[in-house]
Amino acid sequence: METKTKQLKKDLLTWYTNNKRSFSWRNTNDPWKIFLIEIISQQTQINRANTYYKIFIKKFPTPESMSKSSLKTILKMWSGLGYNNRAKRLYESSKILAEQGFEGIYPNFEILPGVGAYTKNAILSFAYGDNVLAVDTNLQRVIIRYFGIDDTKDYVRKYSNLLLENINSKDINQAFMDFGSSICTSSNAKCGICPLEKNCKKYFLNSKNSIKKFKGSNRELRGKIIRLLLKENQISVKELEKKIGEDESRIITAITGLKNDGLLKIRKNNIIEIISK
């Protein structure tokens, strides 16, 4: 496994040198820029995320500038990205960062809303140059297929130091991301042109989890409600039902979820509006 890991590392970095993608945030060590693209790109294709990133970083070049804005403004700019909870967590994080700064909470970035192990390590690697592996779905997919294993936890625990040895962690992390996004993709993997193919086990796991359809889903309904509220400012539940054209029970479920997530509030007479702060 050690010898094969060294070969994977060598072949992957060679491929990356010739095929790495170019984005402005890859040429910076500004933690705010790194944090912003990481939050925006969650569950979003990188090229689409990059388009939104350019809009956000222009309006909010610092966490302080975002913290002085409003949740409603952030949600308007976020429209089209989906998963509005991410926008709320981004806004909440900007307030923490405006007060304490990245250096004030380094390296404990997991205290920021919505930041897990991957995002924490991405900031540590890309902004601070720390020798850590940012384990995302791309890295996991490549490791699973290449070594023919069902889970990456033990592998990462045993061999992450070998993958990170004598290199900039930024390079290996971005190499896995780019390779998993363009060659070793989740579906229709390009094995025919893969430089790792001759040593790869080609172990394709059959996922038992069906992909939830967006059309007609609660997530789609929640998005419709947020977009309508951004346009109307406030609206009664009854009027909302008429304009959305969904069953009352589904509307109530979606509204309750949005309320629990802190995205909207219900006033007297069942008037709902987006929380501004």
The CATH number of the domain where 233 resides is what? 1.10.10.10
Residue 207 resides in a domain: no
Domain boundary among 141, 164, 199: 199
Residue 153 resides in a domain: yes
Structurally, the chain folds into a number of domains equal to: 2
Angle at 114 between CA 219 and CA 38, to 5 degrees: 90
For the cut 90, the answer to whether the pLDDT of residue 130 exceeds it is: yes
For the cut 50, the answer to whether the pLDDT of residue 211 exceeds it is: no
Report the pLDDT value the prediction gives residue 248, as an integer from 0 to 100.
Answer: 82
The CATH number of the domain holding residue 75 is 1.10.340.30
Could you tell me if 33 and 154 lie in one domain?
Answer: yes
For the cut 70, the answer to whether the pLDDT of residue 209 exceeds it is: no
Residues spanned by the domain of 187:
2-199
Residue 240 resides in a domain: yes
Domain boundary among 144, 164, 199: 199
Could you tell me if 190 and 259 lie in one domain?
Answer: no
Average pLDDT value for residue range 75-83: 93
Kindly state the tokens that stand for 166.
Answer: 């004598």
For residue range 98-127, list pLDDT tens digits in order.
999 999 999 999 999 989 999 999 999 999
- Banded pLDDT at 241 (limits 50, 70, 90): confident
CA distance 9 to 19: 15
Could you tell me if 24 and 141 lie in one domain?
Answer: yes
Instruction: List active site positions.
Output: 38
For residue range 198-208, list pLDDT tens digits in order.
999 999 876 44
Angle at 95 between CA 43 and CA 220, to 5 degrees: 30
